């Protein structure tokens, strides 16, 4: 039983119950002559290396938050980009204020770089790396949701929709 990895329109087979997002398409892996059995970890490793390079460029892309536009409240990812950029500059305090879940996401990228490199070198670690990656991704997603709920209730990053302003 295999699931899919979303990869800019390309699907990469992976282990049971995996769902990971990457930005490297299958044709890039084929172009780099990466063998089929190494493609799963290679695509996630390359994505984890490319994303920190692309994040600083994202500030030049016009930002539009559909949730804020339609309902007047911040989205769960509000501040993630600023948090990731602050982490790239090793400014933990600014990253935490922008969005605490961004710190976890940054650490997850770091794990992907280290863990996928290890899995490519020692295939016996492949399942453990993938399993940890899935659990860590779930934890970061839950953290993101928790931060969003907390901000909606208490008013962080222009939230405070459920408690009266004092």
What would the pLDDT profile of 152-165 be if each residue is shown by its tens digit?
887 765 555 555 55
What's the predicted TM-score (pTM) here? 0.74
Pseudo-torsion of CA 60, 151, 101, 90, nearest 10°? 60
Domain total in the chain? 1
Q: Bigger pLDDT: 57 or 13?
A: 57
Residue 57 covered by a domain: yes
Instruction: Tell me, yes or no, whether 27 lies in a domain.
Output: no
**Is 24 inside a domain boundary?**
no
Confidence category of residue 19, pLDDT binned at 50, 70, 90:
low
Tell me whether residue 12 is in a domain: no
Query: In the numeric block, which tokens belong to residue 34?
Result: 């990466």
Give per-residue pLDDT as tens, 73-101.
778 888 888 899 999 899 999 999 889 99
**Could you tell me the residue range of the domain that residue 119 belongs to?**
37-158
Q: Is the pLDDT of residue 71 over 50?
A: yes
Whether 54 maps to a domain, the answer reads: yes
Neighbouring CB atoms inside 10 A of 140's CB total: 18
75 in a structural domain? yes
Residue with tokens 């950029």: 85
Q: How far apart are the first and last CA of the chain?
A: 54
Average pLDDT across the chain, whole number = 79
- Using the predicted structure, report yes or no on whether residue 37 has a pLDDT greater than 70: yes
| DSSP type of residue 21 | E
């Amino acid at each position: 039983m295999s699931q899919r990895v979303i990869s800019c329109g390309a699907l990469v087979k992976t282990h049971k119950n995996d769902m990971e997002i990457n930005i490297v398409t299958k044709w890039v892996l084929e172009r780099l002559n990466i063998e089929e059995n190494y493609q799963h970890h290679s695509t996630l490793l390359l994505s984890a290396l490319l994303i920190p390079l692309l994040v600083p460029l994202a500030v030049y892309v016009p930002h539009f938050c559909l949730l804020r536009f339609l309902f007047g409240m911040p989205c769960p990812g509000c501040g993630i980009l600023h948090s990731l950029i602050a982490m790239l500059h090793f400014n933990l305090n600014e990253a935490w204020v922008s969005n605490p879940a961004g710190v976890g996401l940054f650490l997850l990228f770091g794990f992907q770089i280290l863990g996928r490199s290890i899995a490519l070198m020692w295939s016996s670690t492949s399942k453990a790396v993938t399993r940890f990656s899935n659990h860590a991704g779930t934890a970061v997603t839950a953290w993101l949701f928790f931060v969003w709920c907390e901000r909606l209730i208490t008013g962080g990053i222009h939230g405070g929709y459920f408690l009266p302003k004092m």
